[in-house]
Amino acid sequence: MTDAAQRARDLRRRIDHHLHCYHVLDAPEISDAEYDALYDELVRLEAEHPELVVSESPTQRVGAAPQAGFRSVRHRQAMLSLDKTTDETGIADWMARTRRTLGEGSGVSFTCEPKIDGVAVALIYEQGRLVQAATRGDGETGEDVTANVRTIHSVPLILAGDGIPERFEVRGEVYMSHADFERYNLRARESAGKTLVNPRNGAAGSLRQLDPRLTAERPLSMFCYSLGWVEGDWQPLTHMEVLATLKKWRLRINPHVEEVTDAAACMEYLHRLQSARDGLGYDIDGAVIKVNALSQQAALGALSRTPRWALAFKFPAEEATTTVLAVDFQVGRTGAITPVARLEPVFVGGVTVSNATLHNMDEVARLELHVGDAVMIRRAGDVIPQVMAVIASRRPPQAVPVALPDRCPVCGSPVEREGEEAVARCTGGVNICAAQRKEGLKHFASRRAMDIEGLGDKLIDVLVEEGHVRRAADLYGLSAQTLAALPRLAEKSAANLVQAIDRSRETTLNRFLFALGIRDVGEATALGLARHFGTLDGLMAADQEALERVPDVGPVVASRILTWFAAEENRDAVAALRAAGVHWPESAPQAEAPQPLSGQTWVLTGTLTTMTRDEAKARLQSLGAKVAGSVSAKTHTVVAGAEAGSKLAKAEALGVRVIDETAFLAFLESTEA
Ligand code: IVH
């Protein structure tokens, strides 16, 4: 072998190894730049010596020319679908039936794994080389998508390891990760291109591109989940063994596969999977439960379309289509006007949904939404329902485009959009607009502000509507009799509420500042201001420059604070609250406080029990630290609360210092001395 041939082979091996580390194991061993250098060298070498180019070279993943159409592929073994259930009884019944069919006494164990929401693909490897990839199609006949599947970096073009049979088929799911989906849509929006509706459609569309170069621009991934047929010497005994062996050969296997022996353990797995669902980074629509022993799978066999040895457990669908009956405009605390779609009620994500937020008018424009449109909505986890896309082909002729009203729907004041801002606002302010008044009071009473227990949203609406309360200070003048006279409030609750209002008089400066509802002054900024100035009078006397010296306060926030306190009605409102007895301990200003963490970047992850994430952030910022959202090699310390996930894992992988909440509290205390 020539030196060049030797070097090309060496480079191919090393590049394949690093692709495997990065895309399959999620554990890169070299930097992107080092990888690029290897890849570029191979490209150069192959350009100089075209005879060295082989089809499994990593440079040949996107080599193929556009096709006129896809060749049909007849599956040697039909690709079946799965029988499904949505409840515990379904699983227990299926397990019992399986045991009965196999004969009582024969031990049966099962496996559980995520049901990936993508596109099923069958790969054929011949002498360890990927020779064909086909879609499921109708189960009997699919399409040859080899050129496209070759662009998927987690699919090895060549396998590595011992005992690889002469020819075999492996099956799995090709999908688009959330990160790749977001990245693709971000770029599509920037270039005014067409966005993908969801990752599943992204995967399906990408796989069916006739030009593999376009597929390569929409990165896909693949998890392998079962064996098709085998020619040659390999007789695995169990599903678990199949997966472990495929993994050894470099095929990508989902890490959440577990063996269970009964329905209770299976349910426990499903609960864990459901809570992990939002953090997986890809869509799953349930789990697949399989009989582990392949001999038992064979004995159970299949019905016409579904095998008897597997069962899908479907989570409630997170997407549904419905009709937009109307679009209303809600007015928030700062006057921000949010369009809300009123929907034909539809069951999605486990609940009946009849409203979905549209965020702002830019979003309405992006969707080209009309009242009367059929829309695809999504409700995932506890996230508020979103309108994902309009199904334009189903638009009725009488559909009306959605327009921003030029007057506030609540108070009739003019609506304005500041410059390029996406948000439109009612210009009425709290004195004129009842909606802003109500929302401001709800914020004031909320748990993280003045924390008035029992003063819920509905009650505030009534108090404002009946004229009992105009501004926050009025809450402190409410009597138990007044409250008890309101509909739906019993005497006992009225008395409790008066007590809760009374208790809220004793507060802290940061809670009070947050409760005022100054635009852009969140919990973290409020805490920063309180620590910096120590007293309300100190803050109120500060000018723009003094405000900008507070950690995390920039020119915009500083001017919002100035403007807010410059308004007479706001100063009156504050004075009235103080006159009503609202008070807090004042302290010396900390303007010259030392900044021991200056130059350091900290990351907060998981749940803290003694403070909110925003409070922790403000404390760190007041000590001079930058608080970042993601972990990198430059991170100084990661504070890991309960149930910390991928950020903790990444910190550990990078060798970044990690402390738990106890150590964090001890550290904060030590800085207070
Ligand atoms: S095993 C006989 N395992 O679900 C079929 N399927 O409704 C055996 N799917 O078309 C399939 N994740 O594309 C299996 N971990 C998994 C899966 C999975 C997703 C898909 C598969 C199939 C569909 C069946």
* Ligand 1 centroid distance, CA of 115 (Å): 6
Neighbours of 387 (CB within 10 A): 23
The whole-number pLDDT of residue 659 equals: 93
CA–CA dist 367, 357 (Å, integer): 13
Active site residue 115: yes
312 Cβ inside 6 Å of ligand 1: yes
pLDDT band at residue 673, thresholds of 50, 70 and 90? Answer: low
Ligand 1 geometric centre to CA of 490 (Å)? 55
CA of 296 to the centre of ligand 1 (A): 19
Ligand 1 nearest-atom number relative to CA 287: 15
Per-position b or e across 205-239, b if 16+ CB within 10 A of its CB: bbbebeebeebbebbbbbbbbbbbebeeeeeeebb
Which DSSP state fits 195? P
Q: Which atom of ligand 1 is nearest to the CA of 114?
A: 15
In the reported structure, the alpha carbon of residue 225 is separated from the centroid of ligand 1 by a whole-number distance in angstroms of 8
Q: Using one digit for the tens of pLDDT, what is the confidence trace for 293-315?
A: 999 999 999 998 899 999 999 99
The mean pLDDT value for 102-121 works out to 92
Residue nearest to atom 13 of ligand 1 (CA): 120
Q: How many helices (H) and strands (E) does the chain have?
A: 26, 24
Which is more confidently placed, 179 or 565? 565
What pLDDT score does 592 carry?
A: 56
Q: Does residue 462 have a pLDDT over 70?
A: yes
Residue 40 pLDDT: 93
Residue 130: the pLDDT is: 97
Out of 115, 438, 626, 650, pick the active-site residue.
115
More confidently predicted of 340 and 647: 340
Residue 132 near residue 75 (C-beta atoms within 8 A): no
**pLDDT per position as a tens digit, 348-402:** 988 899 999 999 998 999 899 999 999 999 987 777 899 999 998 999 999 999 9
Among 275, 205, 201, 226, residue whose Cα is nearest residue 643: 275
Output the CA 137–ligand 1 centroid distance in Å. 13
List domains and CATH numbers for the chain.
Answer: 3-60 (1.10.287.610), 74-314 (3.30.470.30), 319-405 (2.40.50.140), 505-592 (1.10.150.20), 601-672 (3.40.50.10190)
Whether residue 507 contacts residue 449, with contact meaning beta carbons closer than 8 Å, is answered with no
Is 82 touching ligand 1 by the criterion CB < 6 Å?
yes
Alpha helices in 122-198, H assignment, sequence order: 146-149, 178-190
Q: Is the CB of 18 under 6 A from ligand 1?
A: no
In short, whether 203's Cβ falls inside 6 Å of ligand 1 is no
How far is Cα 110 from Cα 442, in angstroms, rounded to an integer? 51
Q: Chain-wide mean pLDDT for the chain?
A: 92
Relative orientation angle of helices 568-579 and 555-566, to the nearest 10 degrees: 70
pLDDT exceeds 80 at position 104? no
Annotate 527-539 with b (16+ C-beta within 10 A) or e (fewer). Answer: bbbbbbbbbbebb
pLDDT over 90 at 134, yes or no: yes
Tokens of residue 592, six digits: 């010259």
Question: Ligand 1 pocket, 310 CB below 6 A?
Answer: yes
Does any ligand 1 atom lie closer than 6 A to the CB of residue 288?
yes
Residue 305, amino acid: R
Q: Are the beta carbons of 433 and 411 closer than 8 angstroms?
A: yes
Of all residues in the chain, what percent carry a pLDDT higher than 90? 71
Please state the length of the chain.
673
CA of 297 to the centre of ligand 1 (A): 15
- Lookup: tokens for 104: 């009582």
pLDDT at 238: 97
**Helix ranges, 359-405 (H):** 361-367
Average pLDDT over residues 543-554: 90
Name the residue with the closest Cα to ligand 1, atom 22: 81
Confidence grade of residue 345 (pLDDT, cut at 50, 70, 90): very high
Kindly give the number of the ligand 1 atom that is closest to the alpha carbon of 254: 15
CB burial of residue 440 (10 Å; 0-12, 13-18, 19+): buried
Query: Which token pair is 235?
Result: 């007789």
Q: Does residue 239 carry a pLDDT above 60?
A: yes
* Closest C-alpha residue for ligand 1 atom 2: 80
Q: Using 50, 70 and 90 to split pLDDT, how confident is the model at 591?
A: low
Q: Give the tens place of pLDDT for each residue, 163-184.
A: 999 999 999 999 999 889 988 9
Cα(516)–Cα(96) distance, rounded to whole angstroms?
61
Q: Poorest-confidence range of 402-406, 428-432, 560-564? A: 428-432
> Ligand 1 in contact with 173 (CB < 6 A)?
yes
- Is the beta carbon of 115 within 6 A of some atom in ligand 1? yes
